[in-house]
Structure 1
Amino acid sequence: MGLFDFIRNEFIEVIDWVDNSTDTVIWKFPDNGNNIKYGAQLTVRESQVAVFMNEGQIADIYPPGRYELTTQNMPIMTTLRSWKYGFESPFKADVYFVSTKQFTNLKWGTQNPIIVRDPEFKQVRVRAFGVFSLRVANAGTFLKEFAGTTPVVRISDVEGQLRTAIVSTFSDTVAEANVSVLDLARNYQELGEKLRPMLQNDFTAYGLELTRFYIENTSLPPEVESFLDKTTQMNMVDDMARFQQFQAGVAIEKAAESDGPAGTAVLMGGLGSFMNSTNAGNLPPQPGQIPDKAQILALIKELGELKAAGILTEEEFAAKKAELLSRL
């Protein structure tokens, strides 16, 4: 190699970044101590931003495109270096590429229960878990917050700090949204969208955009979960008489599948409950309380099978059969 080749190889003529990874968010161009040639070619691909730094200070920022590095398209660098018109000498600068693609399926969660102010329960301890997605919105701000002297920054390096920010403000944002923990447990997607703009303030400080925020699971204290279960059951059962009939029907079905005296006892108790629920005492049956004909015939058939198996006596079968037929 001649002296001319040695001097030429000291200058950087092409600057670009081909990202073969899926998790790199900041990558410093390796200059190996060499200067950048005046007029060097800079290529910034889609979902990338190139940031030039002059002695630790952010200078020019380039969106996707192809650039020839001259004083005409390096206005901030030219000002910082006080370059005069016609400057054509090699120069020194740190070049960082920042990925602006969307990073998805990032995890967040509360390691310990947090106290949430609730409009119905006043204060409740809640644990919550979910996922979020983000992208770099301001490359300069993001670079100042996370790059430092590190040549490569992975999304996992950023995720931990952002997770802390989410958890620290989660209880406050839920309180500001005036959302009950009952709704928190029922409408994860809607609440995630409602909380996302509130959490965005913390992400803006890092130059990031919170594109998605999901609540996947919440864990409430046992007493609150018990109340929620009771509320759900009451919403499902509008008519307690119908609910009692349903319970009696379930008991009868189980008895038909059982063997021995225990099955007989359950069956008799279930039939008694069924009769009482459809016609309490000696009162005539009310509209809507008369048992279905097919249901009664099915019960008689099941009684016959129990008699054939020797579980019911002839007298027990005849008595129950007569009682059921009287309901037709």
Structure 2
Amino acid sequence: MGLFGFFKSQFIEVIEWTDQDASTMVYRFPVQNNEIKMGAELTVRESQVAIFVNEGEIADVFGPGRHLLYTQNMPILTKLKSWKFGFDSPFKAEVYFVNTKQFINQKWGTSNPIMMRDSEFGVIRLRGYGIYSYRVSEPVVFLKELFGTSASYDTSSIEGQLKKMVLSGLTDLFAESNIAALDLAMNYDELSEKGKEKMKQRFSTFGFEITSLYIENLSLPEEVEKVLDRKTAMGVIGNMNQYQQYQTAEAIRDAAQNEGGGLAGAGAGIGAGAAIGSVMANALQGNHQQTNSPSAPQPEKMTCPHCQALINTSAKFCGECGETVQKQKVPCISCQAAINEDAKFCGECGAKQVTEKTCAKCGKVNAPNTKFCGACGDNLQQ
């Protein structure tokens, strides 16, 4: 190697990163055993951050733009190198380009079902999947916490950790939401937004910002789905008796259409036709009875005052003891209209009925219709 080639290999004058892979998060510029010339050009593109590391310590961080490397715009590195008078000496440093664009379409999914309690089905197992996106928001934190001094770092290196973080947070969120299993589908957007808020603090510990999180599907166990299918089918069927009659008629029709030879086939066809007619007649009769035969009202009951048996209110005599159950009639003391013997007022004239007569001579209490005292025989009609 000539003298010119030696100096060319030692002094780096242009520092940039152009060859990006969609999943690459960090790229270390190849300056091992090479010196960066003071005054070299550093080009940092949009969605990139350049980090200078000197002897294991973070020196300077450069954002998007074109930078000329001098002691004036590298204060930390200048302090570490003790360049007090702007000495333009070449220097050695590790340069890391951090990709700050969004890493989209990162998938999450339940490897094991999530156990949760549902108000309608009890304890169920829930499965789900979706996607999320994130980006590096704090490159220095990202360098310190994750990639260190690796030559490169991509999304696959952190994918497993982030997926477990998302699943842990969403499992807790589903359990706390208390949303019925049948109503989960109508709450995908709300649950996704709450899940994103729940993940912010967890992602920030690695220098990340979660930019989106979506729930694509939450599915119930196969056993529960079968129960729901049967319940839906029952709702569509409606009247079970009519459905059974229809099924029977369909089966008999298929049997009648079955090709058979000779008299046996003819007999089967005649029998099937008769059976179909019978089924249809029963169906029509059942429908007619259901729609046109309201149940007869039940007669009102009362208790016999003699034997306490239940009898119809229209009965005149008790069917158990044979005693009359109709109240005795007496004339009104005013208008002589027939009224019940225990009536306190007349239904015709409204006169108050005297319920008893007291003998003025002996003080005996007699019935209201008594003419003479039962004790002393004194006339009570005076």
Q: Tell me, yes or no, whether TM beats 0.5.
A: yes
The CA distance in 1 between the partners of 2:68 and 2:279, in whole Å, is 88
Q: What does 1:210-289 correspond to in 2, within 5 Å?
A: 210-222=210-222, 224-226=224-226, 229=229, 240=238, 259-260=257-258, 275=284, 279-281=287-289, 283-284=291-292
**Residues 1:283 and 1:10: Cα distance change in structure 2 (over 3 Å):** closer
Residue deviations 1:129-154 (CA, integer Å, cap 9, x gap): 22222222222222223312321112
1:177–1:194: 8 Å Cα contact kept in structure 2? no
Aligned to 1:308: none
Counting aligned pairs with the same residue, the percent is: 48
2:25–2:153: 8 Å Cα contact kept in structure 1? yes
1:118–1:175: 8 Å Cα contact kept in structure 2? no
1:151 equivalent in alignment to 2:159? no
2:72–2:86: 8 Å Cα contact kept in structure 1? no
Which is helix-richer, 1 or 2?
1
For these two proteins, the number of residue pairs brought into alignment is: 282
Residue deviations 1:174-193 (CA, integer Å, cap 9, x gap): 23444444333454344223
Higher Cα Rg: structure 1 or 2?
2
Q: What does 1:125-140 correspond to in 2, within 5 Å?
A: 125-140=125-140
**Residues 1:9 and 1:215: Cα distance change in structure 2 (over 3 Å):** same
2:289 aligned counterpart, secondary structure = coil
C-alpha displacement of 1:113:
2.1
C-alpha displacement of 1:79:
3.6
C-alpha displacement of 1:36:
1.3
1:173–1:199: 8 Å Cα contact kept in structure 2? no
2:15–2:42: 8 Å Cα contact kept in structure 1? yes
Aligned to 1:142: 142
Which residue type is aligned with residue 216 of structure 2?
E
Question: Which range is displaced more, 244-253 or 178-187?
Answer: 244-253
Question: Which range is displaced more, 249-258 or 134-143?
Answer: 249-258
The CA distance in 1 between the partners of 2:86 and 2:8, in whole Å, is 21
Aligned to 1:66: 66
1:9 aligned counterpart, secondary structure = helix
Residue deviations 1:83-114 (CA, integer Å, cap 9, x gap): 42413222221111111222222221222223
Question: Which range is displaced more, 120-129 or 44-53?
Answer: 120-129
RMSD: 3.9
**Residues 1:229 and 1:86: Cα distance change in structure 2 (over 3 Å):** same
**Residues 1:7 and 1:181: Cα distance change in structure 2 (over 3 Å):** same
C-alpha displacement of 1:18:
0.6
C-alpha displacement of 1:34:
0.9
The CA distance in 2 between the partners of 1:11 and 1:273, in whole Å, is 102
The CA distance in 2 between the partners of 1:85 and 1:244, in whole Å, is 102
Which residue type is aligned with residue 125 of structure 1?
R
Unpaired runs of 5+ in structure 2?
Answer: 259-267, 295-382
C-alpha displacement of 1:41:
0.5
2:131–2:215: 8 Å Cα contact kept in structure 1? yes
The CA distance in 2 between the partners of 1:91 and 1:281, in whole Å, is 103
Question: Which range is displaced more, 122-131 or 49-58?
Answer: 122-131
Aligned to 1:104: 104
2:127–2:220: 8 Å Cα contact kept in structure 1? yes
Aligned to 2:165: 165
**Residues 1:59 and 1:83: Cα distance change in structure 2 (over 3 Å):** same
Which residue type is aligned with residue 289 of structure 2?
G
C-alpha displacement of 1:32:
2.8
Q: What does 1:1-12 correspond to in 2, within 5 Å?
A: 2-3=2-3, 5-12=5-12
Residue deviations 1:31-56 (CA, integer Å, cap 9, x gap): 13212111110001122111112222
Question: Which range is displaced more, 60-69 or 162-171?
Answer: 162-171
Question: Which range is displaced more, 91-100 or 192-201?
Answer: 192-201
**Residues 1:5 and 1:129: Cα distance change in structure 2 (over 3 Å):** same
Aligned to 1:289: none
C-alpha displacement of 1:124:
3.7
1:128 aligned counterpart, secondary structure = strand
Which residue type is aligned with residue 171 of structure 1?
T
**Residues 1:80 and 1:38: Cα distance change in structure 2 (over 3 Å):** same
1:43–1:67: 8 Å Cα contact kept in structure 2? yes
Residue deviations 1:40-89 (CA, integer Å, cap 9, x gap): 10001122111112222323222211101122222333344444241322
**Residues 1:20 and 1:269: Cα distance change in structure 2 (over 3 Å):** farther
Unpaired runs of 5+ in structure 1?
Answer: 287-328
Which residue type is aligned with residue 59 of structure 2?
A
C-alpha displacement of 1:228:
5.0
1:183 equivalent in alignment to 2:176? no
C-alpha displacement of 1:266:
10
The CA distance in 2 between the partners of 1:169 and 1:93, in whole Å, is 40
**Residues 1:91 and 1:270: Cα distance change in structure 2 (over 3 Å):** farther
1:174 aligned counterpart, secondary structure = helix
The CA distance in 2 between the partners of 1:211 and 1:267, in whole Å, is 66
1:125 aligned counterpart, secondary structure = strand
1:31 equivalent in alignment to 2:31? yes
Please report the TM-score for the alignment, with normalisation by the length of structure 1.
0.69
Aligned to 1:94: 94
Question: Which range is displaced more, 111-120 or 194-203?
Answer: 111-120
The CA distance in 2 between the partners of 1:188 and 1:31, in whole Å, is 49
